[in-house]
Structure 1
Amino acid sequence: MAEIVELLSSPSHRYVGRPADGPLPASAGELVGEIRIRAGLGVVGDRYFGRPAHREASVTVIARESLPDGAGLTQVRRNIMVAGIAVDELVGAELTLDSGDGPVRLRVRRAAHPCAWMDATIGPGAWKALRGKGGVRCEPLDDGVLRVGPVAFTVSR
């Protein structure tokens, strides 16, 4: 069974400057029980919401199975962490998630490549370990709500 493990909506960038300097402090309430998604705009309240340069990549998804034990969304800065869905294999597909409030379709546009910050936030070697497993960047096709917990999903190509 698939589930949404964590959800993140962060109003600010934390990775500014050099990884050796460490990230800025997390905003209060970044990890949430639900997120509201707007078609073509992204996650309401997130730092990339409505930004033209990010419209086709405004929602990010990562599989829990890709991360080392103990790592979470605050370290990798993705919006949605799922379990039981091999998201890295879905580039070019449409992923539909329904956590009980109706389906939300996401067009999986491209891989979300990890960066050197992963070594600073998760631990040494994380950047290389996450290559090819850093999640995906998606364009939201529907307005809707996603919640932490069990999720029904479909994939169409």
Structure 2
Amino acid sequence: MPEVVSIHVAPGHRSAMQPRAAISVEAGAGIVGDRYHGSRHRHLTVQARDELDAAAVVLGGPVDDAATRRNVTVATGPLPSEPGDRLRIGPVELEVVRVAAPCRVMEETLGVGGRASLRRRGGVVCRVLTSGRVRIGDEFHVVSRSEQP
């Protein structure tokens, strides 16, 4: 079963990502203590470790989980990425809002080609539907996929 392998939060805009063993997540608000807590839709971001490994092949070196500035990394392949897809991490249910496109900061954190290496591998931005605690080792599930034409 896929599981959470790392968790990171950033308390402020462009502040360093800080590793956590667990986070408190609030429905409709996001991660307590994260820069996006209370935002309308960008409550929590999820990325797949397998996708980071694929980006590492393109870059020719490892891609650290924190370098991408995503909150939760799960040990699995590509994530469902259609708006409306539902995911569960431990007790917390999430709804995919959109793909998390890599930004220009990736050129700074990963080096030249960093942004391109993460294209279609950047994870997903989610809205939090249920509150709870997410911990390293929690199971990751795809709850449902949206009915996209």
Could you say which residue in structure 2 is the equivalent of 1:62? 47
Report the equivalent of 1:9.
9
Structure 2 CA distance for aligned equivalents of residues 95 and 152 of structure 1? 7
Q: TM-score, normalised by structure 1?
A: 0.80
* Residue aligning to 2:30: 42
Q: Within 1, Cα distance between the matches of 2:95 and 2:43?
A: 11
| Corresponding residue for residue 107 of structure 1 | 95
After alignment, is 86-95 or 75-84 more displaced? Answer: 86-95
- The residue type paired with residue 79 of structure 1 is N
Secondary structure in 2 matching 1:149? coil
TM-score (norm 2): 0.84
Q: CA deviation at 1:71?
A: 2.0
User: Which structure 2 segments of 5+ residues have no match?
Assistant: none
Residue type of the alignment partner of 2:32:
V
Work out the CA distance in 1 between the residues paired with 2:26 and 2:96.
16
1:64 to partner: Cα distance: 1.0
Query: Could you tell me which of 127, 132, 135 is aligned with 1:144?
Result: 132
- Residue 96 in 1 paired to residue 88 in 2? yes
| Shift in Å, 1:94 | 0.6
Residue aligned with 1:65, SS: helix
Please list every run of at least 4 consecutive aligned residues from structure 1 whose deviation after the TM superposition is greater than 4 angstroms.
none
Question: What percentage of residue pairs aligned between the two structures are identical?
Answer: 40
CA RMSD of aligned residues (A): 1.8
1:105 match: secondary structure: strand
What pairs with 1:14-25 in structure 2 (closer than 5 Å)?
Answer: 14=14
Unaligned runs of 5+ in 1: 15-23
